[in-house]
C-alpha cells in the first residue's frame, strides 16, 4: 500500500487498495472520495492530472462504487492523454456496472508511455456516490514507475 497527499480537493482521501479485487494489487494507489456530496448534480465530474515517470509503458485505473445501490446510477472512469503515439488509443473508459455492489470495475489502461494523463470520474444521474478510485503508472512488466497526481476539479 502506498500513501500520497491528494490535495484538499480530494477531502483527505483514505488510502487503501485491493478491496476485494485481485486485479488491483497492493502496488496501486487509491483514494476513497465522495462524488457529488449534495446528491443534486447529475453531471458531477472529478478531474485530476497525472504525470507518469520515465520508464512508464501505460497508465491504469479502476473505480469501485461503495454506496448503496440505486437503479440507473452508475459510476464511470475515463483516462485521456494527448501524448499517445500514432495507432495507440488516446482514451479508455470503464464503468462500475453494478450500482453499489462494492465490487471493482475492470481496469482501464492507456499505453502511451511517460507523460501527462487525465483521469476523470463521472456518474449517470443525480445522487451521492461514495467511491474508491485506484490508479498507477506501470512499465511493460506491470511494475509501478512513479506517479504525480494533482486534482483539477472536485464536484
Per-residue model confidence (pLDDT) at position 5: 37
The pLDDT of residue 27: 56
- Residue 13 lies inside a defined structural domain of this protein: yes
CATH of the domain at 72: 2.60.120.380
Grid coordinates in use for 5? 497527499
The parts of the chain modelled with pLDDT lower than 50 are 1-23, 25
Given this model, what pLDDT does residue 1 score?
Answer: 33
pLDDT for 89:
81
Whether 99 maps to a domain, the answer reads yes
Distance CA 78, CA 63 (A): 10
Residue 70 C-alpha from the chain's centroid = 21
Residue 129 lies in a domain: yes
Domain-embedded: residue 121: yes
Does 78 fall in a domain? yes
Q: Would you state the pLDDT for residue 52?
A: 96
pLDDT on residue 69:
95
What nine digits make up the cell of 25? 494489487
66 in any annotated domain? yes
| Number of domains comprising the chain | 1
CA distances from residue 139 to 5, 59, 66, 92, 114 in whole angstroms, order as listed? 23, 9, 29, 18, 9
**What's residue 10's pLDDT?**
34
> Is residue 117 included in any domain, yes or no?
yes
pLDDT at 87: 79
The answer to whether residue 62 sits within a structural domain is yes
Which structural domain, as residue segments, surrounds residue 13? 8-153
pLDDT in tens, 90-124: 999 999 999 999 899 999 999 999 999 999 999 99
Provide the pLDDT for residue 96.
95
Amino acid at each position: 500500500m502506498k500513501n500520497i497527499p491528494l490535495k484538499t480537493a480530494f477531502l483527505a482521501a483514505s488510502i487503501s487498495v485491493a478491496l476485494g479485487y485481485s486485479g488491483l494489487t497492493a502496488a496501486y494507489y487509491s483514494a476513497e472520495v465522495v462524488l457529488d456530496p449534495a446528491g443534486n448534480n447529475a453531471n458531477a465530474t472529478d478531474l485530476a492530472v497525472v504525470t507518469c515517470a520515465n520508464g512508464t509503458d501505460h497508465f491504469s485505473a479502476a473505480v469501485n462504487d461503495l454506496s448503496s445501490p440505486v437503479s440507473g446510477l452508475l459510476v464511470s472512469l475515463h483516462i485521456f492523454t494527448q501524448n499517445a503515439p500514432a495507432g495507440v488509443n488516446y482514451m479508455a473508459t470503464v464503468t462500475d456496472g453494478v450500482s453499489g455492489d462494492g465490487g471493482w470495475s475492470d481496469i482501464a489502461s492507456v499505453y502511451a508511455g511517460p507523460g501527462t494523463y487525465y483521469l476523470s470520474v463521472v456518474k449517470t444521474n443525480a445522487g451521492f456516490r461514495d467511491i474508491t478510485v485506484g490508479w498507477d503508472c506501470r512499465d511493460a512488466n506491470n511494475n509501478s514507475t512513479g506517479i504525480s497526481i494533482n486534482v483539477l476539479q472536485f464536484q
